[in-house]
Amino acid sequence: MKYSMFSWFGYFMKFEDRIKIIADAGFEEAMISWEDEFEPWALKKEEFPELVRKNGLGITNIHAPFIGYSDIWTASRMEIKPKLKMFKDYLKDCQAFEIPAMVMHTNDLDEFEPDLDKGLAFFSELADAAEKYDVDLAVENVSRQHLLCYLLDQINAPRFGMCYDSSHDFLEEQNCGQILKKHKDRLKALHLSDNDFKADRHWIPGEGSIPLDQVMAEILTVPTITTISYEVLANEDWREKEPLDFARAVLESLAINDEKPPQK
């Protein structure tokens, strides 16, 4: 089993410094956000892959930017066309930079009335693009998980599946592991973290109340899952400590097996 950590974990540091922390903690891979970084340390996203690999890490996936996902379910075909092209270009970027998967959201958190046909048409085209570029497209369970269930039921393309986020899943009582039990065979990516059932904390597993032993019992029955990936954020207490200590605590938080990667 490999271990991966998201490149943004709550400490304000240069991208390369954060990646070095992930590598020094003993992780083997990193997940990266596919958007440019700006002041005070501007860096183009196209430079990310080389910096990650220079530190000896593989790239698990990219995360597409948070840009008006609810429009997917409400906008007209003409209105949504530029956004569809943009996401297709991100999938093409994955192929160009030899990155195996892209994660994106289903919708935003604001209230809206979804048109299922519009959402299905949009994601169906993206699923086709994922097949074309030989890249996995992992749609994340955010709010309104019924929309993701609908997509998974309707789109059977081999490259189309789910990014399971444990913190999102346990914020609404009606969810709490249901989508994982129903669709674990469609897992393409993981965002593992913990919370207190009150807010999307993205704490280190074990610092909150999510029954992650039960979550992992489901995940580990999926033979295609070979990487345990954490999307975690340091809280105020952790930010007063060294980021390397935080990253090491993340790596040790889930005892998957007895052969953890060596710490540097």
Residue range 85-108, pLDDT digits in tens: 999 999 999 999 999 999 999 988
Coil, strand, or helix at residue 156?
coil
Residue range 201-210: mean pLDDT, rounded: 97
Residue range 114-135, pLDDT digits in tens: 999 999 999 999 999 999 999 9
Residue range 26-83, pLDDT digits in tens: 999 999 999 999 989 999 999 999 999 999 999 999 999 988 899 999 999 999 999 9
Please tell me the distance from the alpha carbon of residue 261 to that of residue 255, in angstroms, as a whole number. 12
Q: Is the dihedral of CA 130, 161, 35, 79 positive or negative?
A: positive
Q: Which residue has the tokens 């060596």?
A: 262
What tokens does 190 get? 């993981």
> At 112, which amino acid appears?
F
pLDDT band at 255 (very low <50, low <70, confident <90, very high): low
What tokens does 123 get? 């994601």
Coil, strand, or helix at residue 49?
helix
CA separation, residue 186 to residues 30, 148, 152, 157, 225 (Å) = 21, 11, 8, 10, 10
- At CB < 8 A and 24+ separation, what contacts does 234-237 make? 234/9, 234/10, 234/11, 235/10, 235/201, 235/203
Query: Above 80 in pLDDT, residue 167?
Result: yes
Coil, strand, or helix at residue 120?
helix
Please tell me the distance from the alpha carbon of residue 6 to that of residue 29, in angstroms, as a whole number. 9
Q: Note the pTM of the prediction, 2 decimals.
A: 0.94
